[in-house]
Structures are given as C-alpha cells and as structure tokens.
Amino acid sequence: MPGKKGTDGRSDDRLAGALAHTGIDVLLEGLPDAAVIVDLDLMPMAWNSAYAHMSGLRSRRFAEEAENSHCHELLTLGICKTECLARRAASGKRPMRVDEIAAVQAKVKDPAQLTLVVQAIPLTNAANEVYAVLELYRDVTAEAGIQTRYKALLENEKRRAEELERIVEQRTQELRHSLAELQSTQAQLIQAEKLSSLGRLVSGIAHELNNPLNFVYANLDFLDSYVKDLVDYIGELERDGTSARRDLDYMKNDVKKVAGTIREGAERAIRIVKDLRTFSHTGTHTGEAVDLRACIDSVQSLLHHELSRSKVTIDVQLPPQMPMVFANQPQVEQVLINLLTNAAHAMAPAGGIVEIAGREAFDDVCLTLTDNGTGIRAENLSRLFDPFFTTKPVGQGTGLGLSISRSIMLSWGGSIKATNTPGKGACFSLHFQRAATGSGASKR
C-alpha cells in the first residue's frame, strides 16, 4: 500500500495503515474496473493494478511514481480541462458519473485513445467531511468502436434506403407516366376502331336514312296535291255537296295514311341519327348504369341494313327485368357491333341466326351471343383476342375489334370469353358487374 506526504507536511502512514486495516487495499484490487483514490488536491493515494496498467504506472507498489502527480497527469480525460469530476463529486458530496469520456494515457509509451465510463464517489469521515474521492474507470473502447461502426452501418443503410426510396419513387413516376400513355393509346385505339366500325356502317346507314327520307319526300307531293284538291273541293261543296263529299272523305282518310307514313319515316331517321350520335360519342367514358336491352336495340337499329343484307336474324332472349350493369353505353354498343358484325361475316353468304341471351348471377350479369356459323378453328381460339390478329383477307379487317372489346370489358371489371363447337357456331360470353342502381327494363 503506497503512502505519501500530506498537504500539511505530516506523514500519512497512519492513513495508509488505516486504509490497509479497513481492507481498502483488498477492495480496490478486487474491483473489475480501474480504481484510484485521490485526495482533495487530486493526488493519487491508492490504486489497483487495473489503474496502474491503464495510467502507465509500472506497479502500484511504487508510490514515488505518483509523487507530485495529479490524477489528470496520469490519465487525461476529455473533461479535465473544463471541469473535474472528482471536484464536483466532492463539492456536492454525491457520486457522479459520465459515460463515454475520451481519455489519453499520459505516461504510456505508446498511448492510445480510450473511451471510458467514469464514476467519482466521495469518501467521508465520521464528521461527514469529504477527505478523498474514489474514481472508477471502465474501459468501453471496444464497445464504443462497435457502436461507432454500428452507427456508421445504420447511416449507410439509411442512405441506401433513402436512395432506394428515391429510385422507387422515380420508377413509380415513370410507371405512372407509362400507364397514362398506355391508357391514352388504348383510348385512341378504341376510338380508331370505333371510327373503323362507323366506316363499315356508313353505306348501310345511308341506305337506312335514304328509305325514310324517300317516304317523306315522295309523300310530300301527295300531301301538297291533297291540299290543293281540298281547296277546290271546298268550293265544290258549296255548289254540289253530294259528289264532292265522297271524294273529300276519301282524301281525308288517305291524308291520314300519308301523314302517318311521313311521321314513321321521320321517326325512323331521327332514331338512326340518335343511335349513331350515341355510338360515336367521344366523351370521358365514365362508368354508369347501363341498360343492356337498350344497347341491343340501338345496335340492331344501326346494323339493320348490314344484317338484312347478310340474311342474319337476331333472336333476343332477355329476362323481363334484366339487371342494369356497370359500364359505358357507347362502349358496350361498340362491343356488340364488333361481335354481331363478326357473326354476320362468319355466316355469310347463307346467313343465319344470332341468339342473344341474358341471365343474372349472384355477383354478375352474363350476356351470350351464339351464332350458327362455321365456328372458330381450334388453333385460332387462343389467339382470338390478340391485337391485330385476324382471319379476314388483307384490307377487310384491322384485327383490333376483339382485342379492344376485351379491353373495354376489363376496364369495367368484366370479362369476355369465346367458346365454340367447330361446324356448329361460336359463342361469346360477356360478363358485367351488376350496377349499384339495381335492375331496370328497356327505355326504348
């Protein structure tokens, strides 16, 4: 146990003896951490082997090594220049602790930077006066290094995560842009196919409009003639009522027929134009409750000439209260026109029957179109909805009709499937989501 001169010049051998007597020497050596007892002048009084090794003392047995050396001259802490932990503990008469203090081994030949956890515990006598301070130093350099590396790894991972997040956001924006372009392209293709369908319908619609307009035009001559005759007969009635009245009664009845024919022709022309305007509508195609019966009637009106010329008969078998479906009416009509036109071509030149049947299921509404044509070849069935695939001669089909029909059905949460028995015709099944408004009958 080392001894040293006290500040008052008296030998402190008695203190050393007292320390040894109380077992402080054994207690210090038994501590796992480096430990030193310093007096109020910060001079080391006693220390253990761990402190001797850490501070650079050759042995705790040679007190002269610590003679006139303050504790910070043996082991310099990072806080020694600003505040002394031992003085704070002594003045406050309470233990103090500071974690992860940087320290320098002042007397070591090859000093190393240490990271320490330091405790300062004031020692008091019977009068509760502080006469010394016990300092404990725990070397956490390795743990601090691991923690530093761990923090560096966390920072690297954070930067990588931020970079990955930035890349994902960039890719997401690119995908959104690509999706918007695809949707725009799809809308353009749908409109292009619609215009193509309109082109195929032009001759038939012109014929359909020409017939009622001829009725109107031709009967206008009769009506004009009858009006002139009526003026003449009114004069004759004043002279000879019997003969003129018989002619007048005939003209009255015939005028009603002529007027009815004119009205029928005008209504037919108006209906064709209305259906054509509905089909060619280029709006935003918002979802709505659609009446399938109304769509079928409109398409039959538009395709009347084409179907008649192809000797195709439409047999509609729908329930009296067919549920409304969630879709877009012009687009549904476009799908029906594509399917009916294909069916007419498949049954040419002999013609045939297309049966349109409907049924409601628990969660959807199904519409089937079945023809009695030659059917679809097995090798073509899997490619039927591929873009630009067609079995028609060059110049007679775009190969987009069925592909666009499938895109339209999918866009409203529905589906389209094709099945057939070769030689007995093809069947197309359209599955729609049920509209939230419930069921409804045709408005036509």
| Tens-level pLDDT at each residue, the chain (444 residues) | 343 434 443 434 445 554 554 567 788 888 888 888 888 888 888 888 888 888 777 654 445 555 567 777 777 776 676 678 888 888 889 998 887 667 766 555 666 677 888 888 999 888 889 999 998 988 888 887 788 888 888 889 899 999 999 999 999 888 888 888 887 776 776 666 665 655 555 555 665 666 666 666 666 666 667 667 666 666 666 555 555 566 666 666 666 666 666 666 676 666 666 655 655 554 456 788 999 999 999 888 888 878 888 899 999 999 988 899 999 888 898 899 889 988 888 888 888 999 999 998 778 999 999 998 888 887 888 788 777 677 665 445 556 778 878 888 988 899 999 988 666 789 999 999 998 854 444 443
Query: Token pair of 170, please?
Result: 């960039």
Residue keyed to tokens 């042995």 = 59
Q: Is residue 434 domain-shared with residue 290, that is, in the same domain?
A: yes
Q: What is the pLDDT of residue 422?
A: 60
Q: What is the DSSP string of 190-220?
A: HHHHHHHHHHHHHHHHHHHHHHHHHHHHHHH
Q: Is residue 129 domain-shared with residue 84, that is, in the same domain?
A: yes
Residue 335 belongs to some domain of the structure = yes
Q: Is residue 116 domain-shared with residue 24, that is, in the same domain?
A: yes
Given 109, 139, 169, which residue is the final one in a domain?
A: 139
Q: What's at 142, amino acid-wise? A: A
Q: What is the pLDDT of residue 343?
A: 87
The CATH number linked to 78 is 3.30.450.20
Task: Tell me whether strands 312-317 and 352-360 are parallel, antiparallel or unpaired.
Answer: parallel
Residue 33 belongs to some domain of the structure = yes
Q: Is residue 227 domain-shared with residue 126, that is, in the same domain?
A: no
Contact 255, 223 (CB under 8 A): yes
| Alpha carbons 399 and 420: distance in angstroms, whole number | 20
| Alpha carbons 385 and 443: distance in angstroms, whole number | 32
| Alpha carbons 86 and 67: distance in angstroms, whole number | 19
Residue 6 belongs to some domain of the structure = no
Q: Is residue 273 domain-shared with residue 310, that is, in the same domain?
A: no
Q: Is residue 57 domain-shared with residue 82, that is, in the same domain?
A: yes
Query: Token pair of 73, please?
Result: 């001259």
| Alpha carbons 309 and 208: distance in angstroms, whole number | 12
Query: Token pair of 272, please?
Result: 């064709």
| Alpha carbons 360 and 435: distance in angstroms, whole number | 12
The pair phi, psi for residue 235, each rounded to 5°, is -70, -40
Contact 140, 33 (CB under 8 A): no
The CATH number linked to 348 is 3.30.565.10
Residue keyed to tokens 């530093």 = 148
pTM recorded for the entire structure: 0.45
Q: Is residue 84 domain-shared with residue 211, that is, in the same domain?
A: no
DSSP letter at 110?
S
Instruction: Tell me how far apart the terminal alpha carbons of the chain are, to the nearest angstrom.
Output: 115
Q: Is residue 244 domain-shared with residue 325, that is, in the same domain?
A: no
Q: What is the pLDDT of residue 234?
A: 66
Q: Where do the DSSP E strands lie in 49-200?
A: 75-77, 96-105, 113-124, 130-139
Q: Is 437 helix (H, G, I), strand (E, B) or coil?
A: strand
Q: What is the pLDDT of residue 21?
A: 45
Per the structure, the complete domain to which residue 128 belongs is given by 13-139
Contact 66, 4 (CB under 8 A): yes
| Alpha carbons 194 and 291: distance in angstroms, whole number | 20
Sign of CA dihedral 313, 317, 321, 325: negative
Q: Is residue 124 domain-shared with residue 87, that is, in the same domain?
A: yes
Given 246, 266, 282, which residue is the final one in a domain?
A: 282
| Alpha carbons 373 and 379: distance in angstroms, whole number | 17
DSSP letter at 63?
G
Q: Is residue 262 domain-shared with residue 299, that is, in the same domain?
A: no
Q: Is residue 43 domain-shared with residue 106, that is, in the same domain?
A: yes
Residue 173 belongs to some domain of the structure = no
| Alpha carbons 180 and 290: distance in angstroms, whole number | 26
| Alpha carbons 207 and 194: distance in angstroms, whole number | 20
Contact 265, 208 (CB under 8 A): no
| Alpha carbons 296 and 436: distance in angstroms, whole number | 21
Contact 338, 303 (CB under 8 A): no
Query: Token pair of 393, please?
Result: 């001669």
Given 282, 312, 347, which residue is the final one in a domain?
A: 282
Residue 156 belongs to some domain of the structure = no
Residue 149 belongs to some domain of the structure = no
Q: What is the pLDDT of residue 67?
A: 57
Strand-pairing partners, residue 116, are: 101, 139
